Amino acid sequence: MSHNFHPTSLREYDIRGIIGETLGPDDARAIGRGFGTLLVRDIGDARRPMVAVGYDGRVSSPILEHALVEGLTSSGCDVRCIGMGATPMLYYAEASAKEADGGIQITGSHNPANYNGFKMVFRGRPFFGTDIQRLGEMAAAGDWVDGAGRVEKVEILDEYVDNMLGALAGIDTAALEGLTVAWDAGNGAAGPALEKLAAKLPGTHHLLFTDVDGNFPNHHPDPTVEANLADLKVVVAEKSCDFGIAFDGDGDRIGAIDGEGRVIWGDQLLMIYAEDLLGKLPNSTIIADVKASRALFDHVEKHGGKPLMWKTGHSLIKSKMKETSSPLAGEMSGHVFFADDYYGFDDALYAGMRLLAASARLGKSVTQLRSEMPAMLNTPEMRFQVDESRKFAAIDEVTARMTGDDVPEGVEVNATDGVRVTTEDGWWLLRASNTQDVLVARAESDTEAGLERLMGQIDEQLALSGLERGESVGH
């Protein structure tokens, strides 16, 4: 018996597709067979591996869970089903249980309602890239072991929520009593945990859309798109909240606004977290992806930390954290990773707790912390279609030109992930997406004229490779 996946579903960081078109129960079963086989071979005859399995609130998730569990058990793995919840609750189940050898969350993340997919952890490390391609090769060859594992169902929601309260350890709760916070779960999987968490917090908390609904009837659950924060902004204004927090569909990405309704972008949140963390762990390495503002890297240095620019992608960031023993990392996309007093995975609920804690420890409101940040002029993330066979080659061409002999003095080039070019005007970035047939561009400057010149350089480099920016496409 063998199985062939749709070629678009096996991606760099996870597996994702459209239900009934590019992804279905047979794929879920094959994922279970492959993942389970890899664990059985890795662990040997000493014992049966144990895998934690969870799923988000999408309509298709329970069917996929059933097939996934079938695949895992028929490969000889025991399965601990934790039911419906946020992706970080699955990560918690895997990280906190000594007997867990892996974890799989069924989730479509921030994609539209007709998508679904799988995020995986293998023996405490992210499972991505060549790991995912290996599942495809094994399925095509029918290269699976046979076995008979057991299934148990466990409730960990209360334990998960109680553990997050540790973010407020050492903080005088009186400092939080006067806070008013708005929270928007976006009908995503974080809703039930948010309700339990907010009930245990000091202060006043206004909750939006905590009912889990895989059709997302109120707004699309992607907090990095400002239009999706409109409901949150209304509540913050009407209830005079100190700040507001929003989550994506599976609760691993955070969005935030201050008391004046200004968006606090991913790199700006990381500035707040870094300032707080460096107060107790000076000289720490703080990691951010190549799309982050120069202001963040300057801020980390100013507060006694070592900034490290790294590749975009939550799996890549998590791996780099382990390698460098970094206690904090983040991405523009709202993934934030804490490994000082937490497990090093991206948990938006916990990140929300850390925002409360940072404000209290630093003795400043979130609005004040946002106001103190330098006013940088930057573009949104621009994504434009480029043929899959061309996107990486184009970036290689730009890199070669920007690192050649003709580059003007004073221009710095960072080729960690694509090309990030720093000039007197600021910086611009061109990189190829690992998950779509698009190039991503971004630029930042202190002045409008400088930003215009940087955009001109992007357009010039694209033209030299026979490309143009065109209209930006969605995620």
DSSP letters spanning 219-230: S-S-TTSGGGGH
pLDDT of residue 63: 97
pLDDT of residue 77: 98
Of the CA atoms within 13 Å of residue 351, those in its CB half-sphere come to 35
Distance in angstroms (rounded) separating the CA atoms of residues 218 and 186: 7
- Locate 222 and state its tokens: 């992607």
Terminal Cα distance for the chain, rounded: 35
Q: Are 181 and 205 in contact (CB under 8 A)?
A: yes
What b/e sequence results for 299-310 when a residue is b if at least 16 CB atoms lie within 10 Å of its CB, and e otherwise?
bbeebebebbbb
3-state secondary structure 347-371: CHHHHHHHHHHHHHHHCCCHHHHHH
Cross-strand bridge partners of residue 78: 50
Catalytic positions are 109
pLDDT of residue 475: 54
Tens digits of per-residue pLDDT, 231-281?
999 999 999 999 999 999 999 999 999 999 999 999 999 999 999 999 999
Give the chain's residues under pLDDT 70.
Answer: 470-475
Nearest-5° Cα angle at 433, 431 to 438: 95
Domains, in order of start, for the chain:
15-155 (3.40.120.10), 160-371 (3.40.120.10), 377-464 (3.30.310.50)
Q: What is each CA distance from 354 to 41, 165, 175, in whole angstroms?
A: 39, 10, 14
Tens digits of per-residue pLDDT, 164-205?
999 999 998 888 999 999 999 999 999 999 999 999 999 999
Helices (H), 172-293: 174-177, 191-199, 230-238, 266-278
Q: Could you tell me if residue 272 is left (phi over 0), alpha (psi between -120 and 50 degrees) or otherwise beta? A: alpha
pLDDT of residue 403: 87
pLDDT of residue 176: 94
Rounded to 10 deg, the angle between the 191-199 and 348-362 helix axes is 30
Cross-strand bridge partners of residue 151: 79
DSSP letter assigned to residue 71? H
Tens digits of per-residue pLDDT, 76-119?
999 999 999 999 999 999 999 999 999 999 999 888 889 999 99
* Cα–Cα nearest to 312, from 414, 465, 388: 414
Torsion sign, CA atoms 76, 116, 120, 160:
negative
pLDDT of residue 404: 80
Q: What is the dihedral of CA 77, 79, 84, 89, to 10 degrees?
A: -90
